Amino acid sequence: MLKLTKICKSFSNTQVLKDISFEIPKNKIVGLLGPNGAGKTTIMRIITGFLTANQGTLRWKRKIIDPRDPSFRSLIGYLPESNPLYMSFTPVEYLSFVARLKGISKTNLVKEVKKVSQQTDIASVLTKKIETLSKGFKQRVALSATLLGDPQLLVLDEATSGLDPKQILEVRKLIKKLAKDKSILFSTHILPEAKAICDQILIINQGRIVLDSDIKKVRNLEKKFIQLTQ
């Protein structure tokens, strides 16, 4: 569905991504694993158009695309690692604001906000100030914004970081459910999490993909990860 070919990225004179090539198939969850500073967030930022690659191409359904193109951006739902939210807003205000920017018409706005809030189970807190919500609810509000407009590809950067074990299980369950009709690129530090929800695994180290495999074919992921990222 989305194919990256020979993507390179440098900041000043430091090359942070070297010839990154992989594919995110339709309705699959691709796990992006790697140590801190390996380049996971940079890959996600290039896919979502926040950063531009110095070299390489991105293909969406076999066509070369520019991720900065608004028509492509409306197909993507992105949850950055920092979990960005406007704390003085209520979830319903925040979701309406993001929905309007995603081009959702005023007539469909209420329906769309209701749909995503039911998906992420935040209906009970829709009118409370975001700053008063627990970390788990904040994460779900951010995830709801990602789902607005029914995007075909979800890019989730550390979507479960900082959540308690119960919340982690809930978010994993939700991501699994969403993968029934969406492609998902999911970055994580937690190896059991990758094993639990991903169909395909990518390990990145020092800006290079060092493993791209079906999760079922990887035996002893922990050992492999340590070997490849040393």
Partner 1 sequence: MKNILIIAKKELKTYFTNPIGYVFAILLLVVSIWIFFANFFINNQSSLSSLWEMVIFLFSLFIPAISMTSIADEKKYGTWELLLTLPLSETELVLGKFLGLLFYVVTVLLLYIPITITLLFIGKPDIGILLGGFLSTIFLSASYIACGVFASSLTSQSVVAFLISLVFLLLNNFFGQEFFLSRLPLFLKNIFSYLSLSWHANQFSWGIVSLIDVVFFLSWTIIFLILTILSLKSRNK
In the complex, least distance from residue 9 CB atom to partner 1, rounded to whole angstroms: 9
Residue number, 84 or 192, with CB nearest to partner 1: 84
In the complex, least distance from residue 17 CB atom to partner 1, rounded to whole angstroms: 13
3-class DSSP assignment, residue 180: coil
Q: Give the chain's length.
A: 230
Write out the residues near partner 1 by the rule CB under 8 A.
Answer: 11-12, 45, 48-52, 70-71, 73-74, 76, 78, 80-88, 97-98, 100-103, 145
**Which residues make Cβ contacts (< 8 Å) with residue 2, sequence separation at least 6?**
23, 24, 47, 58, 59, 60, 153, 183, 185
Give the helix ranges, DSSP H, for the chain.
40-47, 70-73, 91-101, 106-119, 135-147, 165-178, 191-197, 221-228
**What is the Cα–Cα distance from 136 to 157, expressed in whole angstroms?**
15
Residue number, 70 or 165, with CB nearest to partner 1: 70
In the complex, least distance from residue 153 CB atom to partner 1, rounded to whole angstroms: 12
In the complex, least distance from residue 222 CB atom to partner 1, rounded to whole angstroms: 31
Residue number, 71 or 230, with CB nearest to partner 1: 71
Residue number, 97 or 110, with CB nearest to partner 1: 97
Residue number, 157 or 170, with CB nearest to partner 1: 157
> Contact, 147 vs 120, CB < 8 A?
yes
Residue number, 51 or 116, with CB nearest to partner 1: 51
Quickly list DSSP for 61-114: TTEEE-TT-HHHHTTEEEE-TT----TTS-HHHHHHHHHHHTT--HHHHHHHHH
In the complex, least distance from residue 60 CB atom to partner 1, rounded to whole angstroms: 15
In the complex, least distance from residue 80 CB atom to partner 1, rounded to whole angstroms: 5
> Contact, 193 vs 172, CB < 8 A?
yes
